[in-house]
Structure 1
Amino acid sequence: MNQSIPVNEIVLPSKASRLARAIWKHKALYIIALPGIFYFFIFKYIPLLGTVIAFQNYNIFQGVTGSPWVGFAQFEKMFMYPEFARILKNTLIINFYDLLFGFTAPIILALMLNEVRKVLAKRIIQTVIYMPHFLSWVIISGIFIGILSPSTGIVNTLIKAFGYDPVYFLAEESFIRPLIVGSGMWRDVGWGTIIYLAALAGINPHLYEAAEVDGANRWQQTWNITIPSLLPTITILFLLQIGNFLDFGFERVYVFLNPLNRESGEIFDTYIYHAGLLQNQFSYTTAIGIFKSVVGLILLVGANFLSRKTTGNSLY
């Protein structure tokens, strides 16, 4: 005879028990993820403890425990610095140009490559545009400096051929920002294109067939099928770039800087190098780093909120 068990005697597994079972069930995936977890823990999270020196007058010989606390004095020094507004302006303008042109270029190029029907030609183009991604910024700067050289560069050779005086591009402030953004686009556009091409490959081909039956041309198919299908990928990559809006990269700018173009080319990353490493102002530059991180967090949270409300796509 079957006996029913009272409801109050049924023991449900705890959350910890369910989590442990889930981890054990997918243990292979967690083992694969361990190197990445260790990387972020060692090189990202543990160094966060060192940000306390932003609230100290840090002395390398006294260490964190022996250096005096000064509260928000380093942040006040940052905002009172006469060149702070100029450096912030340069950082914002260069990042905005990079977001406007550098972010959209891979999308446009991926859409164009998607229309190439010959597989061999498509693969050759992909390989050619992807190769610069493996070059260091030192090599990139050498290539562009050589091309733009006022004496032997191919650009100035063409300019002189038309009867104009050569232009020293790296010595004029008006050219440094387009040069920084343009070199980055040339180096990384292939990497972004591959990501979007992978997303394009996942679009259901029956959607195009149905649209073609309905009489839609290639442009209408791109506008109504391809771009909406790419929107989740575009949104995620856009939000990731917004989070690093003030973190443009030190070596990308430093290799092109000189005393003649520093007024328009210096950003937070290069200034941190000069003030922090060369002048030993560790607490001051740590405060600048915290400022960059807070601004990036605010931009990321705000952009994620707007994206979730308008498109339904977000990071979290």
Structure 2
Amino acid sequence: MRIALLAPLRYPIREPFHGGLEMHTHLLARELSARGHSVTLFAHPDSDPRFRIVPQAIPGKGALATLRATYAAVRSMGRGDFDVIHNNSIHFLPPLLVRHLPAPLVTTLHTPPYRSFQLTGWLARASARCRYVAISHFVARQWAPYVGESTVVHNGLALEDWPYSAAGSPRTAVWYGRFTPEKGAEYAIAAARAAGYRLTLAGPVYDPDYFSRAIAPQLGGDIHYAGHLTQAELAALVGQAAVGLVTPVWDEPFGLAYAEMLACGTPVAGFASGAAAEIITPATGILVAKRDTAALTQVLGEVERSKDRQTCRAHVEKEFQVETMLTGYLAVYAAACAG
């Protein structure tokens, strides 16, 4: 198939990834291309040069600049020769312009239905040329009042990118993600320190004020910040840990960190956030209420002692392989083209 893939435009689609959305877009483009599909990536100019890229620069900062860049990308796609256009940008504009596109549009729902997106859903849902994919059943339920039915395709992992580790170092934990308040790194720090675990944190400092206020003063001793790592470096770090901590205080639409940790064999102690229960089972981790640091502290040792690492890996092999994700997307593409 000839596929136009519209990426989130604020950050490059290359390592080290700014977040899970950039990683997901890179993986989707890489794996579709590897299976013989022709993928054109509409993305930040500094994205991975191994892809066929139509560069889309954002002229300035703020929502208006992003809107202009997204509009320019949609116009550019409108001049292309594609079988399907995949909107992976988490921007509300592309579905509104579906009538001006030369091919059907598939939009992946990665976020809650923010207010501007709700209007988009209402206006675009009547078009047979606009189809929606939700990354979890949790997200599909949130969006149902605005877009109607969406196809659930869970995010997938290329297991070779997340190698299995049969054992982690005793009483060690790992946390990673964007350093923003909604990701809740301070709760992981508090639980690890109270439970007597060494904790390594990693990820981009997206909110410097938050990092300097809530995270930096807590570093030292058994709490270490490893920086913004490549995927290979991150996978090695996760595999060395006895427990993975995932502590978002918002409702995660999916939560790639949960699945990535399990892929390395590392069981999870985390918050029951959003779609977490679609990934973590009683055999692979323990989820507690958001912001309940005392409960998280109590389960850390239990997770390390009672959860089998091979079971964690097998769960991802069965449910969250990239091949399963690609099969889901290709089925949606085919249905969109047939429609």
**Which interval holds the TM-score relative to the shorter structure?**
under 0.3
Higher normalized helix content (fraction of residues) = 1
Q: Which has the higher strand share?
A: 2
Give the number of the structure with larger relative contact order, counting CA–CA contacts within 8 Å between residues 6 or more apart. Answer: 1
Structure of larger gyration radius = 1
